[in-house]
Chain A
Amino acid sequence: EIVMMQSPATLSVSPGERATLSCRASQSVGSNLAWYQQKPGQAPRLLIYGASTRATGIPDRFSGSGSGTEFTLIISSLQSEDFAVYYCQQYNNWPLLTFGGGTKVEIK
């Protein structure tokens, strides 16, 4: 099983600042990585797939990068609606999909 590790567990950021979230895979997943956003009491929402392609309707302040085992999600200028938990998910080892443990982005 491919283990996905996210860091940090919690990230405190002021509105308008940049947030950098990391996701590391226990073995290479190529570019087969997705990112999701989950707000309290809501279902997850797809942000990024293919490591760097924004899903439909996702603002361009969200950007994904990386390949192999190291991935990054950057939120260039945090808006109030961006405070949430973010998960990465690999699908290189499809059909065995695995998620990271999540990074909570909170208001500083």
Chain B
Amino acid sequence: EVQLLDSGGGLVQPGGSLRLSCAASGFTFSTYAMGWVRQAPGKGLEWVSAISGSGVSTYYADSVNGRFTISRDNSKNTLYLQMNSLRAGDTALYYCAKAPSSWPYYFDSWGQGTLVTVSS
């Protein structure tokens, strides 16, 4: 059974940094692309970032490009999202998600989410 355990969220001041983690199990992690999708309180889903199975290729939404960095450690079956220069608009529940192939077209398994609150 696929399991994705998101962690690392919390309260951070504007301009601050946070690193999210997603521990994966139940599948061959390095075979699949992974991504992060966020959901602001009471709002819809917004794709944030994705990474290929090998970790060589990374992709970002315009809203986070240059501030967020996605990475993965295939030896630890873990996905990361380093978030810098955080803004109030980044406040959201962040989900890690697994793609059904090596390319992050859509997501067939999701973590439970980790809440990031950016506020002074």
> A interface, how many residues as a size bin?
20 to 34
With contacts A91-B105, A94-B103 known, is A99 near B110, CB below 8 A? no
Distance from A45 Cβ to chain B, minimum over Cβ atoms (Å): 7
A64 → chain B closest CB, angstroms? 12
Cβ of A102 to closest chain B Cβ, rounded Å: 5
Q: Cβ of B61 and Cβ of A99 under 8 Å apart? A: no
The answer, yes or no, to whether B27 is at the interface (CB within 8 Å) is no
Most B CB contacts (10 A, CB to CB) among A45, A95, A101 go to A95
Q: What is the predominant secondary structure among interface residues of chain A facing chain B?
A: loop
Instruction: A50 to B111: give the CA distance in the assembly, Å.
Output: 22
In the assembled complex, which residues on chain B have CB atoms less than 8 Å from the CB atom of A32? 105
Report whether B105 and A44 are in contact in the complex, using a CB–CB cutoff of 8 Å: no
Instruction: Collect the chain B residues with CB atoms within 8 Å of residue A34's CB.
Output: 105-106
Question: In residues 35-62 of chain A, which contact B (Cβ within 8 Å)?
Answer: 36, 38, 43-46, 49, 55-56
| Residues 1-42 of A at the B interface (beta carbon under 8 Å) | 1, 32, 34, 36, 38
| Chain B residues with a Cβ under 8 A of chain A | 35, 37, 44-47, 50, 59, 61-62, 95, 100, 103-113
